[in-house]
Protein backbone atom coordinates (compact mmCIF):
# COMPACT_ATOMS: atom_id res chain seq x y z
CA UNK A 1 0.00 0.00 0.00
CA UNK A 2 0.96 3.63 -0.26
CA UNK A 3 2.42 5.58 2.60
CA UNK A 4 -0.38 8.09 2.07
CA UNK A 5 -3.62 7.09 3.71
CA UNK A 6 -6.86 7.03 1.75
CA UNK A 7 -8.46 9.65 4.01
CA UNK A 8 -5.82 12.31 3.42
CA UNK A 9 -6.36 14.73 0.50
CA UNK A 10 -3.94 14.50 -2.38
CA UNK A 11 -1.66 17.35 -3.33
CA UNK A 12 -2.05 16.72 -7.06
CA UNK A 13 -5.40 16.36 -8.85
CA UNK A 14 -6.41 13.08 -10.46
CA UNK A 15 -6.32 14.66 -13.91
CA UNK A 16 -3.80 17.52 -14.09
CA UNK A 17 -5.07 18.52 -17.56
CA UNK A 18 -8.37 19.69 -16.08
CA UNK A 19 -8.31 23.24 -14.83
CA UNK A 20 -10.94 24.81 -12.61
CA UNK A 21 -12.68 27.87 -13.97
CA UNK A 22 -15.84 29.93 -13.87
CA UNK A 23 -18.77 28.93 -16.04
CA UNK A 24 -19.36 31.59 -18.71
CA UNK A 25 -21.99 29.91 -20.89
CA UNK A 26 -24.87 30.78 -18.54
CA UNK A 27 -24.08 34.24 -17.20
CA UNK A 28 -27.37 34.84 -15.38
CA UNK A 29 -28.16 33.43 -11.99
CA UNK A 30 -31.94 33.67 -12.38
CA UNK A 31 -33.80 30.44 -11.82
CA UNK A 32 -36.04 28.97 -14.47
CA UNK A 33 -39.77 28.48 -13.89
CA UNK A 34 -40.99 25.37 -12.10
CA UNK A 35 -41.67 22.36 -14.35
CA UNK A 36 -45.38 22.46 -13.53
CA UNK A 37 -45.51 26.03 -14.85
CA UNK A 38 -44.01 25.04 -18.21
CA UNK A 39 -46.58 22.38 -19.12
CA UNK A 40 -49.53 22.94 -21.39
CA UNK A 41 -52.00 20.68 -19.59
CA UNK A 42 -55.27 22.15 -18.45
CA UNK A 43 -57.39 21.31 -15.45
CA UNK A 44 -59.52 18.14 -15.78
CA UNK A 45 -57.55 17.06 -18.86
CA UNK A 46 -57.08 13.31 -19.04
CA UNK A 47 -59.91 12.28 -16.75
CA UNK A 48 -61.07 9.64 -19.25
CA UNK A 49 -57.88 7.56 -19.11
CA UNK A 50 -58.87 5.49 -16.04
CA UNK A 51 -62.00 4.38 -17.91
CA UNK A 52 -59.95 3.47 -20.98
CA UNK A 53 -57.53 1.43 -18.84
CA UNK A 54 -60.45 -0.30 -17.12
CA UNK A 55 -61.98 -1.32 -20.46
CA UNK A 56 -58.64 -2.51 -21.85
CA UNK A 57 -57.99 -4.55 -18.69
CA UNK A 58 -61.44 -6.16 -18.71
CA UNK A 59 -61.14 -7.04 -22.41
CA UNK A 60 -57.62 -8.41 -21.85
CA UNK A 61 -58.72 -10.60 -18.94
CA UNK A 62 -61.75 -11.81 -20.91
CA UNK A 63 -59.54 -12.76 -23.87
CA UNK A 64 -57.05 -14.50 -21.60
CA UNK A 65 -59.81 -16.54 -19.97
CA UNK A 66 -61.32 -17.38 -23.38
CA UNK A 67 -58.02 -18.56 -24.90
CA UNK A 68 -56.88 -20.47 -21.80
CA UNK A 69 -60.10 -22.46 -21.42
- Does the reported pTM lie above 0.85? no
Q: What is the mean pLDDT of residues 8-27?
A: 70
Q: What percent of the chain has pLDDT over 70?
A: 74
Per-chain mean pLDDT for the chain: 80
Which DSSP string corresponds to 54-66? Answer: HHHHHHHHHHHHH
The pLDDT tens digits for 28-56 are 777 888 888 888 878 888 889 999 999 99
How many CA within 13 A on the CB side of residue 45? Answer: 5
Give the per-residue pLDDT at 40: 82
Query: For the CA atoms of the chain, what is the radius of gyration?
Result: 29
Pairwise CA distance, residues 59 & 53, whole Å: 10
Comparing 63 with 3, the larger pLDDT belongs to 63
Amino acid sequence: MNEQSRDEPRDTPLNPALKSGTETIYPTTESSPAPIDTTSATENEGEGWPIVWLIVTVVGVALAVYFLL
